[in-house]
Amino acid sequence: MAAIKTIGLLTSGGDAPGMNAAIRAVTRSAIYNGYKVKGIYRGYKGLVDDEIVDFKTQNVSNIIHHGGTILKTARCKEFKTDEGRQQAYENIKKHGIDALVVIGGDGSLSGARQFASEYDFPIVGLPGTIDNDLAGTDHTIGYDTALNTIMWCVDRIRDTASSHDRLFFIEVMGRESGFLALNGAIATGAEAAIIPEISTEQDQLAELIERGFRKSKNSSIVLVAESPVTGGAMGLAERVRKEYPQYDVRVTILGHLQRGGSPTAQDRILASRMGAAAIDALMEGQRNVMIGDDDEKIVYVPFSKAIHNDKPIDRELLEILRRLSI
């Protein structure tokens, strides 16, 4: 295998707070170890469209505390085609890039996996998504910040919910996973979390109402994971209006608010450790792995294990939530 001299770096998919800290860590760690770095703008789109520039240590100054990604990001349709990936490979060769570090979520790492196998090209991934839905890592970069943002918002909604004795459904992100909803519910003392992982097992709304959450409280907050299987906050509110008209129900969809903001200390530290680990991995000859954290230790997770793999929620948390919401 040819020696790696130049490392290309991109962020892809939905941005997540801490991506900038990861960009800084990858860039500085690479330069520290004698590599050249190329910054690729707008994710795979920049690879296809040749938006590739030299990255020096100054390019990543003063970014650790900013949300978003200075490299910008995109969801790129062209990279899903053979022609798009061929064009990307030509640009990689043109710029003398010998390995890639890709920071992104499930879709982005799936693209990395396909490209790596088609072109026998070394890629290391970093889990960058607020959803926390990548298997093989306890945390993804951005998850902790999003959770804290949810907590901040729900604390405020609680004031008005309790003043009006209302039932609030608050929809949070997570795509097909309930990590933000479940842990957000525990952190905010919510009555319940309605999550996709158990949607087919039980009618979570009926269970909540039958449990009689009104026995000891007048207002209630329920966090709902966005997903067609949960029905979303709007769908659930509609059901309550029809089936349980005694409740005064309201909906808040937190939406993209959850993706922004200055990363928490935990996300900055995680991103810094993982960014440095990506360069260690390449130096050790690792290929096609995602950097993960397992019980505070850095681990290398093969792409095949990290992506398209349902990461289970901790069912004990559901029980704790139920117990604490009496």
Residues near ligand F6P (CB under 6 A) are: 14, 75, 105, 129-131, 173-175, 226, 259
Q: Are strands 6-11 and 99-104 parallel, antiparallel or unpaired?
A: parallel
Give dist(CA 241, CA 247) in Å, integer: 7
Q: Which 3-state string (H, E, C) describes 156-201? A: HHHHHHHHHCCEEEEEECCCCCCHHHHHHHHHHCCCEEECHHHCCC
CB of 150 to ligand F6P, least distance (A): 12
- Percentages of the chain per state (helix, strand, coil), in multiples of 5: 45, 20, 35
- Given the complex with ligand F6P, which of 141 and 291 has the nearer CB atom? 141
Do the Cβ atoms of 39 and 55 come closer than 8 Å? yes
- Given the complex with ligand F6P, which of 122 and 292 has the nearer CB atom? 292
Residues facing residue 299 across a β-bridge: 292
Residues facing residue 126 across a β-bridge: 103
CB of 126 to ligand F6P, least distance (A): 14
Q: Which two three-digit tokens encode residue 236? A: 């659930």
User: Which residues form the catalytic set?
Assistant: 131
- Given the complex with ligand F6P, which of 29 and 149 has the nearer CB atom? 149
CB of 125 to ligand F6P, least distance (A): 15
Strand order in the sheet with 52-55: 52-55, 36-40, 6-11, 99-104, 123-127, 289-294, 297-302
* Helix or strand run (H / E) with residue 115: helix 106-119
* Helix or strand run (H / E) with residue 38: strand 36-40
CB of 45 to ligand F6P, least distance (A): 14
Give dist(CA 28, CA 271) in Å, integer: 13
- Given the complex with ligand F6P, which of 254 and 279 has the nearer CB atom? 254
CB of 29 to ligand F6P, least distance (A): 26
Give dist(CA 70, CA 48) in Å, integer: 19
CB of 83 to ligand F6P, least distance (A): 23
Give dist(CA 323, CA 13) in Å, integer: 37
Residues facing residue 55 across a β-bridge: 37
- Given the complex with ligand F6P, which of 175 and 250 has the nearer CB atom? 175
Do the Cβ atoms of 18 and 65 come closer than 8 Å? no
Do the Cβ atoms of 135 and 109 come closer than 8 Å? no
- Given the complex with ligand F6P, which of 103 and 208 has the nearer CB atom? 103
